[in-house]
Amino acid sequence: MNRSFANDPLWSSLVEQFRDACVLRRNGRHEEAEQLLQTELPNKIAAWSKQPLAVGVDRRTVLENMFHEEQRRIEEAFFVQKLVATQIEEQLLPKLCFMIAEEIRDVVRSETRGGNDFGDLLSRRRTQSPARPRVEFDEPPVRMTEGEPHLQAA
C-alpha cells in the first residue's frame, strides 16, 4: 500500500475492498467479486479522487500501482497457502497417522498381553462409553381393568 496514504481511512478502505475482490475472485466467487468491482469500488475511488493530493501526484498512477501491488500480494499469499497445504498433506498428516496407528497398536498389544482378547477389549470399552443415555424412562403404565375410570376417544 502506498505509504503516503497509510493514514487515510478512505484509501485504506479502498485498498481493503479491492483486496477482498481479488480474494473472492481467486476463490472462484466471481459474482461477488464483480459486485465489488463494478458497484462499490467505483464509488470509493470517486470519493478518494475528490480529496486533495500533494502536487505532482498522479491519481491514476497511484491507483494502478495499488491494483498491481494488491494482485501480486494475493497471488503470493495463495502460493504460500498452497505450499503450506502441500507440506501438511505430504509430511504432517502421514506422521500423525503413523503416530495414532502406533498408539492403537500399543493399546492392543498391552491388552492382549494381559490375557484379554480383542473382543473383551471392545466390549469393555463399550461399557465405559460416556455416550450412555442420561434419561431413564418410567415403567409403562399398568393396564386398567374394566371397573376403573378412563378416558375414551371421542
Whether the CB-CB separation of 41 and 11 falls below 8 Å is answered with: no
Please give the grid coordinates belonging to residue 135: 434419561
pLDDT tens digits, 83-142: 999 999 998 898 989 989 988 988 888 877 775 555 665 565 555 545 544 445 556 555
Average pLDDT over residues 29-34: 94
Closest CA to 22 of 75, 66, 64: 75
Min mean pLDDT across 18-22, 72-76, 91-95 is at 91-95
- In the chain, the percentage of residues whose pLDDT exceeds 90 is 45
> If you compute the radius of gyration of the chain from its CA atoms, what whole number of angstroms results?
33
The number of angstroms, rounded, from the C-alpha of 33 to the middle of its chain's C-alpha atoms is 20
- The per-residue pLDDT for 129 is 47
pLDDT at 65 over 90: yes
Q: Which residues contact 30 (CB under 8 A, 6 or more apart)?
A: 24
**Distance (Å) of CA 100 to CA 86, 93, 94, 103, 107:** 21, 11, 10, 5, 11
Least Cα distance to 88 among 74, 27, 80 occurs for 80
Q: Which residue has the cell 476463490?
A: 27
Domain boundaries, the chain: 3-118
Answer whether 90's CB lies under 8 Å from 30's CB. no
Q: What is the mean pLDDT of residues 67-89?
A: 94
Torsion angles phi and psi, residue 21, rounded to 5: -65, -40
